Chains A and B, each alone.
Chain A
Amino acid sequence: MSKEMVIQIENARVQMGGRTILAVDHLEVSRGERVAIIGNSGSGKTTLMRMLKGYVPCKEGKVVVMGDVFPIKDPQKIKTHHRHIGMIHQHFDLIGRETVWQNVYHGRLGYVSLLKSVFGICSQRDLQICAQAIHEVHLEDKQRRFARTLSGGEQQRVAIARALAQEPTILLADEPVSSLDPALAEDIMDLLVSVCDAYDLTLIMSLHLPELARKYADRVLAMKNGKIMWDGSSDSLSNDRIGEIYEFMGTNGVVNGNGTRASRSAFTWPYGWQGQPLPGG
């Protein structure tokens, strides 16, 4: 018997500004999988995650996430859907003027009634879950600090704890380590993967370095122009294959994150395609 499907997509199309920016013909993700998405800036990685979260409407096709068929209309179901999908962002997106503990507690808001949250009433269970989440990311000694006073790596750990407090089934991580320096990036990736194992979460992450994808994912999707061009196990992602994929994806005038043209020469394995050295040398 195959594992439970958490995500099923058939012929989904997302349009923005009169342009199709995402066109996924077929994608299935089963529970507990660790999927990495690689691809140039503008290839649609963020859009795919935003679509799964329900932020951008998909006009055509079939999308089913944990049994909910898109588009979800019932407000209560939208809320449940949000709770089940934790999301981690490149720039952490914490509330800087609240404490670490408060930011982690935000992950519980979807479970707490408005009245209770207005008066700051936390159930014993909420307190336990937050404490456990903070423990998982090793920030017990910093929980009273304002989030904005923490380093980037620590802020991303808070974001992971906030997502865990949601008691999610799926964790989306959009370039979780792109703003961190290489050594820290490995720490955060280790943490991310270990919590996903511990809580049996399905992890979908976009990564800027193919090496990270190979090391931390079971499965890799390579995207270009809103399409999935390659979908395979990370074991089959040999250096040659990576070379092939990049040859295939090309850099034909795609503008990279810094707004400069990514040149072909900047991409030379074993370097990332913007020429950063790999983590750990």
Chain B
Amino acid sequence: MAGKVSLFLAVSALLFWSFQGSEFSLGQFWRGIPQLFHFFGRMTPPDWSVWDVLLTSAVETLQTTIAGTFLGALFAYPLGVLAASNWTPVWVHLPIKAFMAFVRSIPLLLLALLFVSAVGLGPFPGVLALAVHSVGVLGRFVAEEIEATDQKPLLALQGTGASSLQIIQHGLIPQVLPQMVAHLAIRFEMNLRDSTILGLVGAGGLGFYVFLYVKQFQWQKSGVLVLAIIALVFAGEFAAWQVRKRLI
């Protein structure tokens, strides 16, 4: 009982501390609501004259996502196998796990900023940022999936005289493939969402033009691109859902 009370007090204190520190203010929010409508109001009516920008940048965002996700997966799968603690010795899986955790700890926009300063503006640094981020996230899923698979059928395969690579091909991959594809679909969906704002730091795509037009106070043009972002993210989510639905 005393434990419950002190837990309640601790959580309350934590919440109070957080809202206080983040300058939370209901009044300020309430007074800001008209501003919100004003903002969206300025975006209407959408100025469809930018349809060519919309088309090229949406395609660029999609291409960035596909290339980045593919490149990430290319490295994530082998690294994930090596990072599975029940498959490799500790001096192999521990450094790889640490590397992937380190990569995950860098926010995507920061990664993009890094690559923009390395290779210049445009979608290419976006591809690199998505790839590196995906290695960290996907690789961890792969490792955890392998750690969770039933090892006994794999041992039975070893018992037939199959080599390690044959065990991976004929035992491991069939067992984990559906989960792998599901994770890849989710990763693609998330990467698509993330890549729409990579333009904020100059890494190409739809986001770049949204911010460009906002900076130039061309609200009605940026509104069109915001609509495109929403549509694209929605389509990505739908596609990923379709893929996962077929697997179950």
Residue numbers of A with Cβ under 8 A of B are: 53, 55, 79-80, 82-83, 85-87, 89, 91, 93-98, 102, 106-112, 114, 117-118, 159, 162, 165-166
Contacts of A165 in B (CB 8 A): 160
Chain A contact residues: helix, strand, loop or mixed: helix
23 interchain pairs (CB within 8 A)? A53-B159, A55-B155, A80-B161, A82-B158, A82-B159, A86-B159, A87-B156, A87-B159, A89-B152, A93-B156, A94-B156, A96-B175, A97-B177, A106-B170, A107-B160, A109-B160, A109-B161, A110-B160, A112-B166, A114-B165, A118-B169, A159-B156, A166-B160
B184–chain A nearest beta-carbon distance, Å: 17
Contacts of B171 in A (CB 8 A): 95, 106
Given A97-B177, A98-B170, A111-B161: 20 more A-B contacts, CB < 8 Å: A53-B159, A86-B159, A86-B160, A89-B152, A93-B152, A93-B155, A94-B156, A95-B170, A95-B175, A97-B175, A98-B174, A106-B160, A106-B170, A108-B160, A109-B166, A112-B166, A114-B163, A162-B160, A165-B160, A166-B161
Interface residues on B, range: 20 to 34
Measured between alpha carbons, how far is A93 from B153 in the docked complex, in Å?
4
Contacts of B158 in A (CB 8 A): 82
Measured between alpha carbons, how far is A121 from B162 in the docked complex, in Å?
15
Measured between alpha carbons, how far is A91 from B160 in the docked complex, in Å?
16
B157 within 8 A of A: yes
Contacts of A108 in B (CB 8 A): 160
Residue numbers of B with Cβ under 8 A of A are: 152-153, 155-163, 165-166, 169-171, 174-175, 177-178
Query: Of all chain A residues, which has the CB nearest B171?
Result: A95
Contacts of A89 in B (CB 8 A): 152, 156
Contact B152–A91 (Cβ < 8 Å): yes
Query: Of all chain B residues, which has the CB nearest A105?
Result: B170
Q: Which 9 A-B pairs have the closest CB atoms?
A: A110-B161, A109-B162, A93-B156, A82-B161, A83-B161, A97-B174, A93-B153, A79-B161, A93-B152
Of B157, B159, B161, B178, which is within 8 A of A95 by CB?
A: B157
Most buried by B among A53, A55, A102, A106: A106
Measured between alpha carbons, how far is A122 from B196 in the docked complex, in Å?
48
Query: Of all chain A residues, which has the CB nearest B152?
Result: A93
Measured between alpha carbons, how far is A117 from B170 in the docked complex, in Å?
9
